[in-house]
Amino acid sequence: MVKTAGQRKPRRPGRPPADDADLRARVLDAAIACFAERGIAATTLRAIAKSAGVTPALLHYYFTSKEKLVEIVLEERIAPFVAVSVAPLLKPLPSPRATLLRFLERHMRNLAANPWMPRLMVREVLSEGGSLRRHMQAQFSLVLAPKMLMLIASAQRRGEIRDDLNPLLTGLSLVSLVVFPFAAAPLWRDVAASMFGGTPEFEARFAQQRRMTVEASGTDVEAVIEHTLTLIDSVLEKPHAKR
């Protein structure tokens, strides 16, 4: 049979060819998306293969089992995410307050660049029985919480932030403020759709809020980050302090 232009030779058994070098990364991306949408326990290898546009046999070739695939997702997707977020805490600035704000901004930008992470955390870390709870506690929370607590306490002692707040609850509140806009993006889009169909005055009044409900794109992300940092800055400010 004559091979027509653009027609590829049938794949032979064995190792995938060099032009499929990006296929492994594509499968990992598909796995992350499926885990975030359905949960790890409810996601099958067949569903991941379908999402990635590959055969289940090829997925087995790369990862051998679902358990191994989860291990690789932790190593190659979640561990780098955690490293990016905690980096400012590992190299603090002279000012504890400045270090804290830099960490919060870095974490927001990291979430915006990886929109799957908030959804995955809600399903597999925050929910009871989540598959990744123990891992994230060991790799993220046990690093994040003590360092944030020390930063907040140090900033209070130095008079950089108000000292009438509980440091532990302050840290929890700050993390919640930076994560929730990204975790709740689908909900906010629905709320915005129902809110912004009124009068022109109503539209103008809430134009800024509408811009902040879009899920991680360009200036919308910048609006979310700027708004959240401004809010955090005002919350931490000592009462009646002047700068």
- Residue pLDDT, tens place only, 15-57: 444 446 688 889 999 999 999 999 999 999 999 999 999 999 9
3-state secondary structure 88-141: HHHCCCCCHHHHHHHHHHHHHHHHHHCCHHHHHHHHHHHCCCCCCHHHHHHHHH
Classified by CATH at the fold level, domain 79-236 comes out as Tetracycline Repressor; domain 2 (1.10.357)
Q: In the prediction, which pLDDT does 122 show?
A: 85
- In the chain, the percentage of residues whose pLDDT exceeds 70 is 75
CATH 3.40.50.970 fits 21-64, yes or no: no
For the chain, what are the domain ranges? 21-64, 79-236
Tokens of 157: 């002692």
Same fold, 21-64 and 79-236: no
Kindly state the greatest CA–CA separation across the chain: 84
pLDDT at residue 201 is higher than 60: no
State the pLDDT confidence band at 13, using cuts at 50, 70 and 90.
very low
Residue with tokens 């306490």: 153
Please state the length of the chain: 243
Please enumerate in sequence order all residues whose Cβ is within 8 A of that of 30, keeping only pairs 6 or more positions apart, or say none. Answer: 48, 51, 52
CA 115, CA 20: separation in Å to the nearest integer?
A: 26
Please enumerate in sequence order all residues whose Cβ is within 8 A of that of 19, keeping only pairs 6 or more positions apart, or say none. Answer: none
For the ranges 40-49, 131-140, 211-220, the lowest mean pLDDT is seen at: 211-220
